[in-house]
Structures are given as C-alpha cells and as structure tokens.
Amino acid sequence: MVISNKPLRFILAAFVACLPLMSFSNSEKDSAHVQTETAHEAASEGHHAEPTDVKSKIKAFIGHHVLDSHDFTLTQDDETGKYYGFPLPVIILDNGLQIFSSSKFNHGHAVAESNGNYYVINHHDGKIYKTDAAGTITEDEKTGHPTNVRPLDFSITKTVLSIFVAALLMFWLFTSLAKSYAKNGGIASGAGRFFEPLVVFIRDEVAIPNIGEKHHKKYMSYLLTIFFFVLFLNIFGLTPLGINATGNLTITFSLAILTFLITNLTANKNYWGHIFWMPGVPKPMRIILAPIELLGVFIKPFSLMIRLYANIFAGHIVLMSIIGLMFIFKSWIGSSLSFGLSFALSILEILVAFLQAYIFTMLSALYFGSAVEEHHHEEEGHH
C-alpha cells in the first residue's frame, strides 16, 4: 500500500507549531520555582542547606527537575509557598505493606508516619528512606550517600502516573480508530485520521522492510505500541507538567528488556545457529566468534536503553540550562539570546521526540527481523 507523505508532514508541522509554547510554559514555571526551592530545602534539611546564589539555585533546580516525584505539583505561590497539585499514593513494603498519601511528606519537608514506622524523602535523589521520628538522615563519609534503610518502593509516582495516562490515552485513541473502521467501511474518522498515517508508516516503512512480509504481522502490535508509547511520553516531557519518563533509566531499561525477550523467545534455529556456530567461516573461527556474537545479544538492548535515556535526559538538562542563563545575564541582550536559543532548542526537542520513538521502533524491528530471518546457505552453495 502506497500513501502520500503529505499527511505525515502535516502531523509533524502541527506538533512543531504548537508544542514549543507548551515547552516554554513549563520552563517559565520551573524557572520561577527556582527562587523558592532552595529556601524550602534549607528549612527542611538544616545542615544540608543549599547555597543562595543564582547559579547554585539553577543547578540545584535542574537536578530536582529531572528526578521523579511522589506528588504531582502543577504550580506554587511564591509568596505563601503554597503548592497547587495533588498527592499520589505511597506504597512501601516494610514490616508489611505500608500505604498512605504522599501529602504526609509535605512535599519532602516533613516526616511521614505509618504504623509506627517513619519515612522521609531525600532531596538529593528523591528516594524514600526509613528514619526515626526526628527524620535523621545519616550519610556515608566517603560517598555522601544516605546509609539509612531504603524500603521497597512500589509507589504511584509522577512517572508511573504518566505511564498510566499514556496507556489509557492509547487505548482510547486506537479503540476509537478500530471502531471507526467498522462503522465507515475501512475509513478512519475522528482522531483516528490523525494517527492512521503513522500506523501505516510503521507497517510499510519499518515492519515490512526489516522483518519481511511473511513474519511482520505478529510483531506489529508490539511495534505500534512501543512507538506511540515512547512518542507520547516524549511529548509529555515537553508540556508544563514537567514529566521526564523516558529520561528515566528504569523506564528505558524496561522497554529494552521487552524487545530483548521478544527477540530471543521468537527467534528461529537459524538465529541461534549464527550465534553459536556461524556458517560460512572456518571452524576454528566459529569458536572465537561464538562468545562475541553472544555478547552482542546483550549489547543490543543495552544500546536501546542508553540511546533513548541519554537523548531525552540530555535534552532536558540542556534546555533548562539555557533558560537559566536568562536569570544569570539579567540584561535584555543576554536574556533575549537565551530565549531565542531555548526556543530553537524546544523545536529541536520536538523533532527528537519523534526521532527517538522512530529509532527505538526501527531497531526493535531490525532485531526481530534478524531473529526470524531464513538462511539458505546450503542451497546458495549449489548455484
């Protein structure tokens, strides 16, 4: 099936036109939040108070911005210090299952109590640690990391919530798309018209060329899911919500593991034969190449994990750093240059959001294709 590239170009143009504005509202909110973040941390941590100069504030805020959070803060009043948002459920496995609201932490400024157990959120890594009623955190003298016990944390954090939202959004969108096909005789309607070109693109330009006409259908569900899942999470990261899901190593690790498992669990004997006893090379070389090929099996998902994580994480850091320059320069020339550069970088980040979703899907399809590829070395040798 051949389709025009115009619908896809229109989709990309629409995102490029609209999302930089959303990205800047996120940046402005975060930059204003810098002015109060250090003061709150100084009040809650005492001897861990951060410097009050602008550069240190910006650096500290950027570090907190890319971390996960146990509550969903939309904005705050700088004068009163009041937060506007909503708490999320905290689920901890420690002396039984401990379930309570993250509001007990008071945005990391209070000690939470549950069934006689006390917990605090460490501002430096955003993790929950077990402590005493006073909230004492002890640190290793060499590394500076907390030595308190870290309970198993199954909380619904901001990242987890964004994953649920992306999953529900995908379920609603593509269920509607499927129903519109049934109603209109195979013609998409409503929101489905927007996403149908991308679905066809993944099938015709990613799945079939890399996996083959014969085997591509059994992988299409996963490829479409992973493409739109990564894309939606990347887009969420450009909104005022401040979500950094795909810039979280645990998320990209989980996605890479799925590709790794599907590749190796559906591979045929030719795939494993090329790894452990590569045809077409002398037998002594096969013994040397076998461990190298086996190592490559694990390197492939590792590269998937690092590529997505590094690009999204670095994008957040660079964009926030450039916006922070506006508060450092304090002049119309320097601030204007920083604003223009951050605007251009925001547009680039939108393209990166699409590109990284495409690359992750493309490489997954490439690995699936190598797993089901059929080789006929013996037949080729007779011709």
Backbone angles phi, psi at 167, to 5 degrees: -65, -45
Per-residue pLDDT for 125 more than 60?
yes
Asked if residue 134 lies in contact with residue 111, where contact means CB atoms within 8 angstroms, the answer is yes
Per-residue pLDDT reduced to its tens digit, 268-289: 888 888 888 877 778 888 888 8
Q: What is the mean pLDDT of residues 44-48?
A: 40
Instruction: Give, in order, the Cα–Cα distances in Å from 367 to each of 210, 297, 335.
Output: 8, 10, 46
Please tell me the distance from the alpha carbon of residue 217 to that of residue 234, in angstroms, as a whole number.
Answer: 26
pTM of the model: 0.76
Q: Is the pLDDT of residue 45 over 70?
A: no
How large is the average pLDDT for residues 196-206?
A: 92
Smallest CA-to-CA distance from 362 within 255, 215, 223, 198 is with 223
pLDDT of residue 79: 65
Spell out the domain ranges in the chain. Answer: 85-156, 160-376
Question: Cα(188)–Cα(201) distance, rounded to whole angstroms?
Answer: 15
Highest mean pLDDT of the ranges 26-35, 52-61, 172-181, 214-223 = 214-223
Q: How does pLDDT run across 57-89, given as a tens digit for each residue?
A: 667 667 666 778 888 877 666 566 677 788 899
Strand, helix or coil for residue 128: strand
CB 178 within 8 A of CB 191: no
